[in-house]
Amino acid sequence: YEPSLPVSEKSNPLTGDIDRASASTIVRMLQACDGQMFEEDAGVGYQRLFSKEVVETMVEVAKKVELILKDPQDSLVVLSGCGTSGRIAFLIASCFNKRLKDISQSLVFSYIIAGGDRALFSSHEAPEDDGRLGMLMLKEACEGKKRVLFFGISCGLSAPFVAGQLDFCLQHPEVYIPVLIGFNPAHQARNEPIAGCTFTFHSVMQRMLELEQSQKAFIVSPAVGPEAISGSSRMKGGSATMILLEVILSAAQAAAFTRAPVTEKVILQSMLAYKSTVDVTYSHTERISTLVEAAGKSLRCSGRVCYLGWGSLAVLGLIDASECNPTFGADYEDVRGFIAGGYAELNNNEGPLTSLGPDFSISHEDFLRLILPLLTDRDTVLLLFTRSEVLGEDVQMARRVRQKSVFVQNLCSSTLQISWPSPLTEGSVQMLSLCQQWELSTKLLLNAVSTGAHVLKGKVYQNHMVDVQVTNTKLFRRAARLLQKLSGHPKLQCEEALLKAIYQSEQLTSDITSSDVGTHTLVAKHRTRVVPLALILLLTNCSLKEAESRLQQQPIVREVVVLCLS
């Protein structure tokens, strides 16, 4: 079934055996996968990051941002997406607003995430399916604006939430210019009907393609190769989103405030600097492997991994931690992020969210109060900071954590001895890019730690997230496809097994089989381990009860499968 899949959903041949690899091999595999982001077009006809068309479009988009920065009255640049794409939208909008504030300019960047701010730090995958909600949230965010540049981010060119927003932009060209950021060739955009809408992602994209010539819409969608863990777009998808947006917005800022015009050369050089960042980060494979090993050990013996961060690096910690639940079926206690200054530092749209539950307690005070007393030598704590941010706070914090004999590792430029590529341009751009590259570097490290640790815990089968939560239509379809691949059974049978696991019912009533996928995913929200359960059902033809007990006896899915097959 693989040839029919879009690039972002394919499984990567480089990582087929990642679930049996050691920590250092896992890191080397991730390095090879991330390296694919910068590969040239290898004759497959897909656009890549460095393709001429991609760079040209980035120049045009940066010029549109520049116009808004120079004349911000009644204007807005909105970045929007679901899951990781929405979280990166938040991170970038916050970073660039901070920089505007530093030079006393109007703040023009704003973000939207499907599901609202609670989705910044916890998994809310269902709103991704709601095209109308996307449109309404965009309309509300832009109330009264006369000019809006809208960046809709969907790595897989698939989120109905974003399709709804792009459609709305196309219907109001007098105000909105839509820019689509994704990582598949245009013809691979999702063409599945969207509940309550007359368009699909694919059809919206076709309309945008027609408007590209007249610069009324833009599409930046280079392929970056399949993810290391199939479909896990938080990894390369998220990194490439950061790179594209940071390059475009930095170039626009430099043009608006330092009179350094946006050119293809500026864009290309800036992207090359990100390539160097990836190379330099992975030149520390040994140190990263030590972290992966420590985090894996913690998770394997029911310990926890905590990221204690300062500034934007802390935001990356929060983001990485929040993705472990939907990706690996992890508990929110397994990997957690904390930020110095809490919500005041985050400055998110909806303000403090602490009242929503314990998983929204994210300040260092919360860590000291709720987590520190519980820490043991099974746990791993990573401190994330840049030297300029912390002024000794890190040392104090590390001392307090070390008293509990926890494995502590500082991730900052001095500890990892990460040296940075020589500055490409003079002036403020140099400062900006230095800071941004720290962020990409930190993201890669954290993705490696959390992915590697869960792989070592047995949460990945071959290179598939077999314990994925089935909480929206994309994930339901992915789960059914995975069952087909792993069991060799036909689609219908795999969907039936999945439904049995979701509804916890041996018999599928007509009520169940006649419901739509949206209804199934609402029920699946309250279930865990549905894909492993369905897989055992398919492989052994046993009862649900028996499948559950097999899974309880051996939680590592690959081992259960080996047992079932033998």
Cβ nearer to ligand S6P, comparing 95 with 475: 475
Give min distance, CB of 389 to ligand S6P, in A: 27
Give min distance, CB of 463 to ligand S6P, in A: 13
Cβ nearer to ligand S6P, comparing 159 with 295: 159
Count of helices and strands (H, E) across the chain: 25, 9
Cβ nearer to ligand S6P, comparing 156 with 458: 156
Cβ nearer to ligand S6P, comparing 183 with 257: 183
Rounded Cα–Cα distance for residues 69 and 108 (Å)? 7
Give min distance, CB of 390 to ligand S6P, in A: 30
Cβ nearer to ligand S6P, comparing 153 with 448: 153
Neighbouring CB atoms inside 10 A of 505's CB total 12
Rounded Cα–Cα distance for residues 235 and 59 (Å)? 25
For 106-163, what is the HEC assignment? CCCEEEEECCCCHHHHCCCCHHHHCHHHHHHHHHHHCCCCCEEEEEEECCCCCCHHHH
Give min distance, CB of 468 to ligand S6P, in A: 8
Cβ nearer to ligand S6P, comparing 229 with 375: 229
Give min distance, CB of 563 to ligand S6P, in A: 29
Rounded Cα–Cα distance for residues 238 and 33 (Å)? 13
Cβ nearer to ligand S6P, comparing 165 with 433: 165
Cβ nearer to ligand S6P, comparing 188 with 462: 188
Distance of CA 203 to the CA centre of its chain: 25
Cβ nearer to ligand S6P, comparing 237 with 329: 237
Cβ nearer to ligand S6P, comparing 124 with 500: 124
Give min distance, CB of 482 to ligand S6P, in A: 15
Give min distance, CB of 128 to ligand S6P, in A: 5
Give min distance, CB of 94 to ligand S6P, in A: 18
Give min distance, CB of 82 to ligand S6P, in A: 4
Q: What is the Cα Rg of the chain in Å?
A: 23
Nearest CA-CA partner of 227 in 283, 156, 129, 277: 156
Beta-sheet strand order (sheet of 335-339):
335-339, 305-309, 380-384, 407-411
Give min distance, CB of 12 to ligand S6P, in A: 14
187-204 as b/e: b if 16+ CB within 10 A: ebbbeeebeebebbbbbb
Cβ nearer to ligand S6P, comparing 262 with 319: 319
Cβ nearer to ligand S6P, comparing 266 with 335: 335
Are 231 and 8 within 8 A, CB to CB? yes
Nearest CA-CA partner of 484 in 538, 419, 411, 547: 538
The DSSP annotation for 422-470 comes to PPSSSTHHHHHHHHHHHHHHHHHHHHHHHHHHHHHHT--BTTB-TT---
151-161 as b/e: b if 16+ CB within 10 A: bbbbbbbbbbb
Give min distance, CB of 145 to ligand S6P, in A: 24
Residue that the structure tokens 């204690």 belong to? 308
Closest-by-Cβ residue to ligand S6P is 83
List CB contacts of 459: < 8 A, sequence separation 6 or more. Answer: 328, 329, 330, 465, 466, 467, 557
Nearest CA-CA partner of 153 in 241, 38, 46: 241
Q: How far is CA 239 from CA 89, 236, 440, 460, in A?
A: 12, 5, 7, 21
Instruction: Using CB under 6 A, list all residues that contact ligand S6P.
Output: 81-85, 125, 128, 153-156, 158-159, 232-234, 237, 323, 326-327
Work out the angle at residue 268's Cα, subtended by the Cα atoms of residues 250 and 229, and round it to the nearest 5 degrees: 85
Give min distance, CB of 18 to ligand S6P, in A: 16
The DSSP annotation for 203-214 comes to HHHHHHHHHHTT
Q: At what angle do helices 264-282 and 236-258 cross, to 10 degrees?
A: 140
